Amino acid sequence: MRRIFDGEVYELVVKNDDFVFSYCKSFYENTVCVGYKMLSDDGKETMDVAKNIYLLSKFGTNFKTISELTSNYILAKTTELSNGYLCLLSDTGNAYLIDGSGMPVWSGNLNYRGEAPSDISAYKNSIWACYSSAGVLIRFNLNTMREELRIGGKNSPFDKPTDIFISGDTATISNSGSNKLISVDLSSYVVEEKEEFSESVYSYVEHSENRYVLLKSGLYIIE
């Protein structure tokens, strides 16, 4: 495992061939200057990119309209649905389903016991959300946008889950509380512990046959 960026990263965005992230470029008197980086072609180095590149990767071609639906585009989460729509989640738990023209076709709230999801990810005809304080994963049906399945709760395998990454039929959950990655088979709901780290793990992604984790000390490639 090798560190490729040691700054404070806010969010990793992987979409199609792009892997971009936002980070704290500078901090002065309660004012944060946000910077944006992209991984190099070999996936092992980072380079600076413009804000619009980050917004395009995160929100799509209608990023100007979509990003205005939330008061903080950095803290907002997005996931692309199988029908081409985009699900946008604000840090307050307010959510939107947005069509190809950038217009919302549904809006509602995905909070669970007053807590907003820490992350969302689309899978087939559903959206999975993880909740850090509650220690649960919840599946929402895209047709009704209502909860239809919950994993976790009492004696939960999830300890402050902050991120959910889905590849194929497997969801990988980043547990910032236990420093572990937890995998969930979304077809059988079998839960397994994967890697454990010496510090908090906040995010996990796969890109161009490489695996990455965001730890408290920075962004690492798993080699």
CATH of the domain at 200: 2.120.10.30
**How many C-beta neighbours within 10 Å does residue 86 have?**
21
Which residues are within 8 A (CB) of 28 and not within 5 positions of it... i.e. 6 or more apart? none
For residue 13, being part of any structural domain is answered with no
127 membership: H or E segment, kind and range: strand 126-131
Is 191 inside any structural domain?
yes
Q: Could you tell me if residue 48 is inside a domain?
A: no
Which H or E run contains 82? none
- Asked if 18 contacts 12 with a C-beta cutoff of 8 angstroms, the reply is no
- Residue 29 above 90 pLDDT? no
Mean pLDDT for 177-193 is: 96
Count of helices and strands (H, E) across the chain: 2, 20
Would you say residue 22 has pLDDT above 90? yes
Contacts of 46 (CB under 8 A, 6+ apart): 4, 5, 37, 38, 39, 40, 219
pTM for this entry: 0.95
> Is residue 3 domain-resident?
no
- What does the pLDDT read at residue 41? 86
Residue 113 covered by a domain: yes
Residue 155 pLDDT greater than 90, yes or no:
no
Residue with the two structure tokens 């495992």:
1
> How many domains is the chain partitioned into structurally?
1
**Residue 136 is assigned to a structural domain of this protein:** yes
Residue 168 covered by a domain = yes
| pLDDT score recorded for residue 28 | 87
Paired tokens of 154 = 């009492």
| Domain region containing 182 | 62-222
Asked if residue 198 belongs to a domain, the reply is yes
